Structure 1
Amino acid sequence: MTIAEIQADIIEEFSMFDDWEERYQYMIDLGKTLPLIDEKYKTDDHIIKGCQSKVWLNAEMNDEKVVFTADSDAIITKGIIAILIRAFSNQHPKAIIESNTGFIDEIGLKEHLSPTRANGLVSMIKQIKMYALAYQTQIN
């Protein structure tokens, strides 16, 4: 699936819920399905700067696709990174770099987060794109 197709699925899933309590619960559930990061990557080198909670993110190349793993010490934040990993993991670096993140606005996520969590969300996206950029330069 392309990033756009995955994002469309996420938008559709979030539209099934009537209120933000249900959406938060869904995000928490998504966080529980997150492919866990190996303990050796739970270091300061892998912490996303700008997040209120601790969020560890690792990326590896596998068959010219970036595979992300992550974890967080906060359940909502874990759900947020799970959504991002679902959208961007197992994709070509160029596709990640060029991808649109408008789906986040479409599901209303940014407007329902505290300012510090919203800043953390931006930092997570930035780190994902930075990993993709680093891997893209290795391919070229």
Structure 2
Amino acid sequence: MATPAFEDIAETFEFLDDWEDRYRHVIELGKAMPALDEAFRVPATKVEGCASQVWLLPRIEGQGPEARFDFQGESDAMIVRGLIAILHALYSGLPVAEVAKVDAPAELARLGLDQHLSSQRSNGVRAMVERIGLLAAAAAQG
């Protein structure tokens, strides 16, 4: 159940043969992402459990379970900005009630990220996925 934006990333990963190229692509995805305004880089938006500094700011359109989920994110590490961009592609535009149904580990495994990220980075991705789930669940409840 991946979004078209995530499918585009998955297709690009299939095309790229080695992990150095894939890492470069992840970094490029992060560079293309709009920066999160400094005013939103506060403890309330900070994701705990990441080795790098990470902030996620929800952007919900509508109300209740049919509201559309979106977020902005930021990190002080370029590779992590890229991982945020991948998560954005995975979740952005979904109804908030559908966010919890996304099997993020399985989708990210399609990219090989489960095998090529350090344990610290993997823990950080898990922390971001958990935060995304909590933000969407809170929005679904109104």
Decide: shared fold, TM above 0.5. Answer: yes
Q: Which residue of 1 aligns with 2:69?
A: 66
- Pairing of 1:19-98 with structure 2 (within 5 A): 19-63=18-62, 64-98=67-101
Residue 131 (structure 1) aligns with: 135
CA–CA distance in structure 1, aligned partners of residues 2 and 141 of structure 2: 20
For structure 1, which segment, 63-72 or 50-59, has the greater mean C-alpha deviation from structure 2 after superposition? 63-72
Query: What is the number of residues matched between the two proteins?
Result: 137
Within the alignment, does 1:112 sit opposite 2:111 as a pair? no
Query: Does the CA-based 8 Å contact 1:60-1:66 persist in structure 2?
Result: yes
Measured against aligned partners, the alpha-carbon deviations of 1:27-47 in whole angstroms (never above 9, x if no partner) come to: 000001113222221012111
What is aligned with 1:7? Answer: 6
Partners of 2:10 and 2:89 lie apart in 1 by: 12
Counterpart-to-counterpart distance in 2, 1:17 and 1:128:
28
- Unmatched 5+ residue regions in structure 1? none
Preserved CA contact (<8 Å) 2:2 2:107: no
1:99 aligns with 2:102: yes
Q: Whose strand fraction is larger, Structure 1's or Structure 2's?
A: 1
1:4 Cα deviation from its structure 2 partner: 4.2
| 1:73-119 Cα deviation digits (max 9, x unpaired) | 00101100110012112221011111122120111012111110110
Q: How far has the Cα of 1:66 moved from its partner?
A: 1.7
Unaligned stretches of 5+ in structure 2? none
**Which AA in structure 2 matches 1:106?**
R
Say which SS state the counterpart of residue 70 (structure 2) adopts: strand
Cα contact 2:51–2:124 (8 A) shared by 1 = yes
Q: Secondary structure at 1:86's aligned position in 2?
A: helix
